[in-house]
Structure 1
Amino acid sequence: MMIKLMLALIVGVGISSSTSVWSQKKSAQTTKTKTSSKTSKSINSLKNEQEKVQKNLKRAQDSLKNTQLSTKKAMREVSRLDQGIEERSRLIQNKNVEIQTLQENISSLEKDILRLELEYASNKEKYVDLIYHAYVKNSSYSKLMFVLSAESFSQAYRRFRYIQDFASMRKSRADEIGKNRDDLVAKRSQLTEQKAQSTLLVQEREAENQKLIEEKDEQNRLLVSLKNKEKEFAAELAKQQAAAEKLDQKIKELIEKEAEEAAKRMAKKNDEKAKNQVKTENKAFEGSKGTLPSPLPGSHITGRFGIQFHPVLRHVKTNNKGVYCTSEAGAVAKAVYEGEVTQLFSVPGSNTAVIVRHGNYLSVYSNLTKIFVRKGQKVMAGDRIGSVYEDENDDNKTTLFFQIWKEKELQNPEEWIKGWKRKQ
């Protein structure tokens, strides 16, 4: 009996011990599971946070890119509107001249019609008198009796001539009346036509005036909206000016070098024929002033030559040493006149530039990427010089910087290229 009790006690203690160990293991596993779960949650939270940060960074980068893009677009839009306003103002001015000319023509026609009406009335009255006179004469005696009743042969002849002259005068008066009538009809027709034309021109002018007002309003709204981005414009302008100054300095150095080399070549030749050839080239180039083709066909001016006010930062002036003309993606710069390629060079921020010599004159094409010419190559007007850089931050728009020099003396390209000169 005692043995059974001891065995039962031992078994009980064993079971209790096993249960305790199992409970401890289970507790440890539970604790481990909880810790693992917390760690997993922490990692997921960090990953989510990281993704959120990356999204925010991307959004910020996109926003910056869009801001830069919208800034450039806005600048381009301001320039486009500025040019549109200028062209529309010129169109309205031309229509005003046309209207004035037509009004003068109408006034002249009205005077002609009045004169013709008076002549017509006068000739009709005179013709009536002639007819009445002829009727009276014919009713008194016949033309034959009028001649035969003469007292002498000379009197008879004079009477005969009188009858002939009278008939001729009557016919002349009738013809004159007919001509007066035809002239009146023609003049009245011209008057009606020119009045209709004048009315149409006035309507067109009013429509253009309305468009001009709308364009000016749009430009003003755009300028007001851009006022908040003055810092961005100032930063962009500073960047552009720095690049422009580098380019100007490089071009100036090369132009001076080019002039010295040309002088040395001429001195070596010391040939009247060579000198005369340069004179001929100069004369031909100068004779083309105002008629040269655009170096970037289909483009429009986005930066004029000389001192210009910034379209947004009105208190800021820029001094452009050439003309900026802008076109669509894929645009190619072309030679404005026949000549020889003398320089190809690169400037950081302005890509590649090409200089073409035309006698003592030089044309400069800057902001090129792919070049289609080589140094020493002869080119003709319209030959491809190079592809213009496409700005991915500005819808791949292309902007060429173009200059004309007479040796070391900078020229205004607007006076040389057809359609570029501002009309007063």
Structure 2
Amino acid sequence: MSVDVFAQTYEERREELLKQQENTRAEINVLEARIKNYQAKVNQAEEQFDQSYEKFQSLNNLIALQDDKIKNLQEEQKQIEAEIELTEEEIELRENELEHLIESYQKIILYAYKNGRTGSLELLLTSGSINQMLVRSNYLRRFNEQKNKQAEAIKEARLELDEVKDELEDSYQRNRLVIDEIQDEKQELDNQRQQQELTVEEIKEERSTWLAELRKVREEKENLENSFANLISEEESLREAENERLRRLAEARNIADPSRRADEVEKYSTSSVFRENYVSDEILLTYEQSFAQAKGQMPWPVNSKTVAKKFGRIRNPLYGSVTEHPGIDIISDPGAPVNAVSDGYVMDILPMRGYGDVVFVKHGSYYTAYGNLSSIDVEVGAVLSRGERLGRSGTSESELGEVLFFAVRDGKEFVNPENWLSAK
């Protein structure tokens, strides 16, 4: 295989690695901006001791963001190391190629040394005929051309090898910078965790307030579960009534007597419970199948994958008390667009204590809830496509701050949303 083919393959693969690094660096820059935002919140909270709980929450979000940044930096380091490995392999290939060229050239030079100009003149003068002399002269000319061509190839190979070595040194330098950045971030993270411990000590002094908050959180969760269950029950009852109306309407249209048929059709023609954009059971089934098939591959509802509060049992670091979180809180930019993760329709929109304004979306037997919205762009009954905007996430004025509350319900129980969302 020629040097050009190796170079082309190397360049294409290196370009892909550099593109991956560029994407990872873009994610790091977004995280860095959010870190600065929460750093500002931490600094502001430090100025007022009575805001220690807000400081705790902001530190918690800051630590989650820094953890994510370290993960992205480590991913960038892996990509750079892969680039280094690829470049080192390319250098080895080019060095072997150069060594082969040099060996060939050495053989040519050795032959030329042993059979110098005297030998060449003798070779011509001892020719048996003019034709033989011409043949020998042509051979000597081509020999010199091959020698010069080999020397030029060695020169070009050396230049190309030096260029790839420069690229390797560039990769080494970027890797050293990323490693230094990882160390700095880890040190900063350790400092934040120490600060978190100090903040925890401050909050311990507010035990009675926290216990009241704990009771409130449990009540809010119970209220959300009950409201969700009631919504589902009411919606199912309405759907049963609507399906029964549609069945009777179909029967009425088959009545033979024109007068009676007209009366019965008129009686069942208008829905008393659903608007004109009623979603049929058949369409709901397609929503359900699509939702189920997309498990682990759904888009995140906001342009962020940093989770400040996980799903399920959460143990309080202060008192060891446990609460159940029915969804996840995703840190996002203030007022960021919130998009539907799958096709469905808006079952209801309710203000919920502890979760702000919540949009409930039905996807067959699956449901999603989007809470702490600063604004809502849809109405009850609206049919949504995957990726369609339904509102905007929380701001500093929202009940939960600059986060989106997101929940997934499978039938009668809440499930971990992170199992449904894409890991990439």
2:361 is aligned, of 352, 356, 375, to 356
In structure 2, the CA distance between the partners of 1:383 and 1:189, relative to structure 1 (3 Å rule), is closer
Is residue 377 of structure 1 aligned with residue 354 of structure 2? Answer: no
Is residue 408 of structure 1 aligned with residue 412 of structure 2? Answer: yes
Q: Which amino acid aligns with 1:294?
A: P
Equivalences, count: 345
Secondary structure in 1 aligned to 2:369?
Answer: strand
Shift of 1:353: 3.5
Shift of 1:83: 1.0
Q: Deviations over 1:271-327 (max 9, x none)?
A: 9x96664454345444485442425x67964321122222433x2232211123466
Correspondence for 1:29: none
Task: Out of 368-377 and 119-128, give the one that drifted further.
Answer: 368-377
Distance in 1 (CA, whole Å) between partners of 2:168 and 2:305 is 42
Is residue 220 of structure 1 aligned with residue 215 of structure 2? Answer: no
Q: Deviations over 1:110-140 (max 9, x none)?
A: 5346535633542442232243245246454
Q: Deviations over 1:8-33 (max 9, x none)?
A: xxxxxxxxxxxxxxxxxxxxxxxxxx
Shift of 1:249: 2.2
Correspondence for 2:311: 305
Matches within 5 A, 1:240-389: 240-258=217-235, 277-285=283-291, 286-287=293-294, 290-294=297-301, 301-313=307-319, 315-325=320-330, 335-345=340-350, 352-366=357-371, 373-380=378-385, 381-385=387-391
Is residue 135 of structure 1 aligned with residue 126 of structure 2? Answer: no
RMSD: 4.4
- Give the gaps of 5 or more residues in structure 2: 1-47, 251-278
Residues 130, 170 of structure 1: 8 Å contact kept: no
In structure 2, the CA distance between the partners of 1:106 and 1:354, relative to structure 1 (3 Å rule), is closer
Is residue 181 of structure 1 aligned with residue 158 of structure 2? Answer: yes
Shift of 1:73: 0.4
Distance in 1 (CA, whole Å) between partners of 2:382 and 2:403 is 24
Residues 294, 420 of structure 2: 8 Å contact kept: no
Is residue 205 of structure 1 aligned with residue 182 of structure 2? Answer: yes
Residues 78, 219 of structure 1: 8 Å contact kept: yes
Residues 305, 330 of structure 2: 8 Å contact kept: yes
Residues 358, 371 of structure 2: 8 Å contact kept: yes
Correspondence for 1:148: 128
Correspondence for 2:34: none
Q: Which amino acid aligns with 1:208?
A: E
Correspondence for 1:84: 65
Residues 355, 365 of structure 1: 8 Å contact kept: yes
Residues 79, 302 of structure 1: 8 Å contact kept: yes
Correspondence for 1:21: none
Secondary structure in 2 aligned to 1:403?
Answer: strand
In structure 2, the CA distance between the partners of 1:361 and 1:120, relative to structure 1 (3 Å rule), is same
Secondary structure in 2 aligned to 1:204?
Answer: helix
Secondary structure in 1 aligned to 2:301?
Answer: coil
Shift of 1:189: 2.5
**TM-score relative to the length of structure 2:** 0.64
Matches within 5 A, 1:387-402: 397=401, 400-402=404-406
Distance in 2 (CA, whole Å) between partners of 1:391 and 1:399 is 11
Residues 52, 199 of structure 2: 8 Å contact kept: no
Q: Which amino acid aligns with 1:125?
A: Q
Residues 106, 195 of structure 1: 8 Å contact kept: no
Q: Deviations over 1:126-184 (max 9, x none)?
A: 232243245246454253x454359xx9x889867865764564355334423432333
Name the % identity. 20
Shift of 1:242: 1.6
The higher relative CO (CA closer than 8 Å, separation ≥ 6) is in 1
Residues 327, 406 of structure 2: 8 Å contact kept: yes
In structure 2, the CA distance between the partners of 1:130 and 1:197, relative to structure 1 (3 Å rule), is farther
Distance in 2 (CA, whole Å) between partners of 1:98 and 1:332 is 31
Shift of 1:338: 4.5
Distance in 1 (CA, whole Å) between partners of 2:139 and 2:207 is 97
Task: Out of 245-254 and 351-360, give the one that drifted further.
Answer: 351-360
Distance in 2 (CA, whole Å) between partners of 1:77 and 1:146 is 96
Distance in 1 (CA, whole Å) between partners of 2:208 and 2:235 is 40
More helix by share: 1
